[in-house]
Structure 1
């Protein structure tokens, strides 16, 4: 089954999605020219913007007709997501994202970190304008959990002993939590709190699947399609699910190669690791898990 993104996913909220950019442009406005330039660079980097789309679709599912407040929330979510990507690129020392130079590569780490901080602060400034304490509390707690997920990932780097459960805890924080906030926030603003928990559960599972598939692509795609270098996860010593599964399914030399690659990082054994991940059944397991 082939899914057409524009026709099958975006179409129901296409007009609201287009209008959302007005709020994003408002959010990145600054009297400091450098802040504006960097913010514009990272916001316009592309991507499907699945998190704000999820917010708008959830609002529709809740029966909302006028989505003005949800459009603002969708913009807030995209700004928060963009800020986390900017910070991620600094932590990972990444030079490329979505086929474009990262903010830290274009300017420097200090500028990227501070503009990431600006985007988070401005997102909460816009969030306050929505005048809903339940929403504000949810996002305050949620952004803390996102940061905790990133720290968990940092702790797991170069650790071949990382378990699948630890991996799931990491991706829930760094990826799925913002999907959950998007749908929960839509339910809150739509005045349908009874849908908040079902939407959160759906979004959490969607976010996990989204991240697992993204991690698979590091071993199956190419740099042009990904918009970043192949093997970046291995380079950074990140024990993602394909590697965790490959370790479970191998012994001897193959097991040692994967384990050593996680422990040391780098891409010296990338071709061999890709072959092992493919032949060990790790990718099939990951797809089933997703």
Structure 2
């Protein structure tokens, strides 16, 4: 067996070893679990240095020397001066290891506080950039502005039995103008379902006052059902993602390993 066959066989054995936990707890699985965690830890350390520490800390602290083309003498990359203020990050980071010292373990909270403070400020901006547009898009109109047609005008046409975008630029511009200026009944109905689902699901998390009356309790119950449907869809997509991983590993065994053995 050559190197490629040995490599593929090792991958198959590791795959079977990790999936053996589905049968029962065994040492075969434990061995490959430790191998996987060890490789992941080693890879993470190297990735942290190459992707984060070296470009974001080391190069900014020491700077970069200009790159000059030996043939032409032209500067391909300008010099970047270093900033020794970044050296202060090293002792702050090393304080985290004092957690193993009983006398000075309180100092390990300093880098944790710095990280959490910077991370919290960054996450506020990221949170708003991520969820702000979604909050804005949840405010949808629910009253149609035209009843000339129930459905939305189509931006495609059938040409020789094939569905294609409208080729006439004037007709396409007319349709796009209608879509921009009008809210059709089907769009209003879709927006109403969305707003109703959003409001009912939101009402499920209101605990400031007791919900009384058939209307409020009904909305609350409807929101609970919508949440269950949403959680079910999320769980289903998670299961499908796990099955996709299983199918990928089975495809690896059948298509690569078996074919590699039969072709020898």
TM-score bucket (shorter structure)? under 0.3
More relative contact order, 1 or 2 (CA 8 Å, 6+ apart):
1
TM-score with structure 2 setting the length: 0.21
Larger Rg: 2
TM-score with structure 1 setting the length: 0.19
Name whichever structure is richer in helix by fraction.
1
